[in-house]
Structure 1
Amino acid sequence: MSLDDLLTSLRALPDSEPREEYLRFLTTAGDAALRRDGGPEHVTGSCFVFSPSFDRVLLCFHRKGQFWVQFGGHLEPQDATVAEAAQREAREESGISALTLLSPAIMDLDRHDLNAGFSCSAHWDVGYAAVVGPDAVISVSDESEDVRWFPVDKLPAHVPAGFGARLEHVRRTAMSLSDALLTQPGW
């Protein structure tokens, strides 16, 4: 996996404090930031999965965190990019083998501290989005207790702080991108 690819993707984002924090962290930590064993804080990839009308979101109940959240996890050596890791994690955790990202564009940045149930102290999560039909066959992985669709305006009670605002930002960004893709020839 190339640190340069992630830095290029981050630099393509609009200026923001989270973007600058990520750039500082990655510049300081270097390639170690992309490995689970590279230190107590490292990059993870995640994927928000929406219905085609963007009115529902597929979430998993995270076993260690004990909350509903998007799919995601650590980068693996076989992942060529963070986007590829996010897609792999979403496929593994949802059971939807045909799931593909809407775009390799970053849609969410969320650095979060972890509790004692985790072996690391913080994740620098990089989020992407996918769209699948709500009739897609889903399954629960070893890392989750449940996988379920929710209306985006009626999220379950147990979600991380700030999750609703992040979800709405990703939803709006993904909807705009989806509209732009549909107007391109060949779609």
Structure 2
Amino acid sequence: MKETILDKFLRKYRIRMVKPTIEKYNNCKLLDIGCGWEAKLLKSIENYIDYGVGIDFKPPKLKTKKLETIESVLEKELPFENESFYVVTMLAVLEHLSYPEDILKEIHRVLKKDGRLIITVPSKIAKPILEFLAYKMHVIDRLEIEDHKKYYNKKDIFEAAEISNFIV
């Protein structure tokens, strides 16, 4: 994937939006699902967590005292014990999955009972805007937009979370 300037801006914007929430859970163990090919979120929060794991189908090779990445298909069982993480993030990932409830059930399994799930998804309202930016303006990656299986509204997210046993 070739990251455009707008793709980079959107990624930074998502990180900036969720970082304050992550900072509230200082010194936690965090899982970033769909960490991307640079694991930017993990790297940006390294000083706020005890340990962070990024998982993606093709993550960067990263292994430090506090951070690591694991290669895995996201629509399979997550390779972690039950209740392993206090925070799980999934930024701009759910819309790419054919069976989002499956990964949400897995997240519920690996998340501690009082843990937090942080998700970002493109909204239904954003669909025509994203398509215009990708197909007409060519300022965001067309392949990323073509890979979107679904666009969400708040109700959709809450329903998927409840089906997966989350308390919303």
Which protein is richer in strand relative to its size?
1
TM-score by shorter chain over 0.5: no
Higher relative contact order (CA 8 A, sep 6+): 1
TM-score normalised by L of structure 1: 0.29
Higher helix share: 2
